[in-house]
Structure 1
Amino acid sequence: MPLFEVETTSHIMIACAEDQEAARAFANTNYPTEEIIRVAHRPRDAWVISKKLLGIQGDADPCHIARDCLAKAAGDKLHAVRLYMQSTGADLDGARKAVESNMSRGW
């Protein structure tokens, strides 16, 4: 089944769907309040994200580090961001993104 990239106002999702209409239906079912900005057919049957493009290099796992900082901070986001910056040397924006993305997954 083909892959479709569906971008909404807040998310980019990859969906296996028969066609663009089915991909739109998937997005509307899961995120009904968001406007669909773009639907694109992926040329292959795989989705690849460049770790280097995201700033992930070497053996460091930013998700593991962010979850550890959240645990040490007892869920206090600001404290976890500070701990993440100290642990990784990341700037404020990078640390905030790492911590917030892990807060939404649950730590």
Structure 2
Amino acid sequence: MKIFWVVFAIGLTGLYFVNMAMLKMPFLSWEWGKHAAIRFFLGFFILGVNAFYAHKLKFTSALKVILAIAFLDYLYDYFIETYRLNFEIILHGLYMLVWGSIMGYLACKDFNNKE
């Protein structure tokens, strides 16, 4: 369980620096929070839980599902003109996916070891 909280703290610190340094966005912004949460929970549930831990989905199938949902989210933002899509925003999304998948795997592993 300690590794879970260490990864959480490192990921949260990394998120702070990614938001402030790369994107120059406020850390606690509602608009960015929604997008970050979508990417984080996609990584958490689809990659971390279903693909890496439970092996319910193949890795390529999980990536296809994530790519479709993330593309629709980017497309929606493009049409409502929230922001322009650039490389930094894509890197932010990848960071959130990776962090979410690691957290999902560790959460399932810790949860099942306690029982």
Q: Provide the TM-score with structure 2 as the length reference.
A: 0.33
Report which structure shows greater RCO (CA 8 Å, sep ≥6): 2
Larger helix percent: 2
Structure with higher Rg: it is: 1
